[in-house]
Chain A
């Protein structure tokens, strides 16, 4: 490099010198006389002049040639630069492949190439960044879609409104609850979209926003056409970076069923307490009468003692039944299922029932079919069922009547069926469907016999809940009733599977 530079300097020096000499030569030529004393004699002077002229000419020609070459190089570089076909990272090729390299042109080419390389690199970098950003955008969009899908699929209704109470977002459950179409409703004021009957909810949203509460909760009733549902509404304010409220999110959870269950529990408790207080009232009243001497003769006193004892037993039975039913309903009771023959089970309970029936002068008829009537059951529980049905039948049958118990097997349906038919007082048509309800006692028959009102409910729980069976009843007032249950047979495969 340095050599080349020096060469340039030398050549430029020679050219400059020769031009000067040429000029000098002209001047000498013009005034041969004045210059002659420089040269010595005239011939020498002419030779010097000629030499100077030649050098000058050579110099000028070289200069011209150099300038031309420079111009050509620049032109070809320019042409290359302007070439559209140039690839992005193209570099300028060597324009000249000559031995005698044009240093300046080379430097220019190199500088341009470096600059082009730099730009090419930057371009690659930027392209990479663009790709990264695109991927990020796609990811964000997919995340947004996922989040939306999650929110839309939540069973609870979710509604988002902005700081002006306009709808921003609502999931499917919300659209269904409030009966609006989200696509058309976006950005409309929520008050317009919600049925005026449900204004309490809109007010609740607004109040929460105004009070800037982070989370508030309220139970609100919603009426939709015919039905009314209760929702547990949790409203949260959304704050932006400047801690201003920029929106409100409401999540509504349907608690209607829970409230219903809670109400049923309350009803049950109140009902139970009434049932328990009744025999207790007799016990306390009769006890007080005895201690106040209101029972004047021995007969009356005996009567009072008897009532107290009976009512105490009644109270005890009631408590037992309630506990049994509660235990079965909450799944706390230990179930021990084994294959058992229904007929044999019934046989075991008959002596006790027959004894009770004889006192009332009621006949008990049973049969012993030779059929495969094995069911997969808890023996104690099923025995309780049989006892309840039989004792009910006897209880509500007047003297001289009869109670019949039968077992049938339906092999195609693989079920075993037990029916208890009595010639008793029967049940009015409008009350038949309620007999299996808790504490239900048929009004007209209450005077016939004592009862907790839980016996049949216990039967239903045991048969249906514990053994997957079915209870049934048919009745004609004044003629009699048939109560019964069906259970799936314990087929051989099931038995072997035990």
Chain B
């Protein structure tokens, strides 16, 4: 089974770095981006299985990125996890509309993030298997 690919997006290099190490140590393939625009470009070329993104970024914000992902036919089903210090920036309705799978607030635990990714990908696999 090919390793699942995770796209990690954050303008803070240390955050991206620590998440990448954690995920790679646990068998995931990781690609990274420093802002929403970079991330969106990588989506079409790399086709990740799940996206982990911050909200506050230059050029294109996390919210704008997710909106774009959902509008795009190719990417609309990719699950998204938000990882942000600004947890009040998004309300429950928005989370539902944008189909956000999980929202972790900073400071976060890499362990929890890993568990969340594992859960989401597991459920996605189950749903797909049922079809």
Question: Which chain A residues have a beta carbon within 8 Å of chain B's beta carbons?
Answer: 270, 273-274, 277-278, 280-286, 288-289, 292, 294-296, 300, 307, 311, 443-444, 446-447
Q: Distance in Å from the Cβ of B44 to the closest Cβ of chain A?
A: 23
Query: With A289-B22, A294-B22, A294-B25 in contact, do A278 and B85 touch (Cβ < 8 Å)?
Result: yes
Q: Distance in Å from the Cβ of B82 to the closest Cβ of chain A?
A: 13
Verify B86–A443 contact, CB threshold 8 A.
no
* B residues less than 8 Å from A284 (CB atoms): 107-109
Q: Quick one: CB contact mask for B74-92 with A, threshold 8 Å, 1 for yes?
A: 0000000000011010000
Q: Quick one: CB contact mask for B1-30 with A, threshold 8 Å, 1 for yes?
A: 000000000011111011101100100000
Verify B58–A443 contact, CB threshold 8 A.
yes
* A residues less than 8 Å from B56 (CB atoms): 274
Q: Distance in Å from the Cβ of B127 to the closest Cβ of chain A?
A: 30
Which 9 A-B pairs rank lowest in CB-CB distance, beginning with the nearest? A443-B58, A281-B106, A277-B85, A284-B107, A281-B107, A282-B14, A285-B18, A274-B85, A280-B107
- Can you list 25 pairs linking A and B with CB atoms under 8 Å apart? A270-B86, A273-B85, A274-B56, A274-B86, A277-B85, A277-B107, A278-B106, A280-B106, A280-B107, A282-B14, A282-B15, A283-B107, A284-B109, A285-B18, A285-B107, A289-B21, A289-B110, A292-B111, A294-B21, A294-B22, A294-B110, A295-B21, A300-B21, A307-B14, A446-B58
User: Which residue of chain A has its CB nearest to the CB of B85?
Assistant: A277
User: Which residue of chain A has its CB nearest to the CB of B84?
Assistant: A274
* A residues less than 8 Å from B18 (CB atoms): 282, 285-286, 289, 307
Q: Distance in Å from the Cβ of A273 to the closest Cβ of chain B?
A: 7
Q: Is the interface of A mostly helix, strand, loop or mixed?
A: helix
The number of residue pairs between A and B whose CB atoms lie closer than 8 Å in the complex comes to 67
Q: Say yes or no: is B125 at the interface (Cβ < 8 Å to chain A).
A: no
* A residues less than 8 Å from B35 (CB atoms): 443
Verify A288–B110 contact, CB threshold 8 A.
yes
Q: Say yes or no: is B34 at the interface (Cβ < 8 Å to chain A).
A: yes
* A residues less than 8 Å from B129 (CB atoms): none
Verify B108–A281 contact, CB threshold 8 A.
yes
Complex: A289 Cα to B19 Cα, angstroms:
10
* A residues less than 8 Å from B110 (CB atoms): 285, 288-289, 292, 294
User: Which residue of chain A has its CB nearest to the CB of B19?
Assistant: A285
Complex: A99 Cα to B120 Cα, angstroms:
141
Verify A285–B86 contact, CB threshold 8 A.
no
* B residues less than 8 Å from A307 (CB atoms): 14, 17-18
Complex: A444 Cα to B12 Cα, angstroms:
13
Q: Distance in Å from the Cβ of A347 to the closest Cβ of chain B?
A: 36
* B residues less than 8 Å from A289 (CB atoms): 18, 21-22, 110
Q: Pick the contact of A285 from B13, B25, B34, B108 — CB < 8 Å? A: B108
Complex: A296 Cα to B111 Cα, angstroms:
16
Complex: A85 Cα to B51 Cα, angstroms:
116
* A residues less than 8 Å from B107 (CB atoms): 277, 280-281, 283-285
* B residues less than 8 Å from A300 (CB atoms): 21
Q: Say yes or no: is B126 at the interface (Cβ < 8 Å to chain A).
A: no
* B residues less than 8 Å from A294 (CB atoms): 21-22, 25, 110
Verify B109–A282 contact, CB threshold 8 A.
no
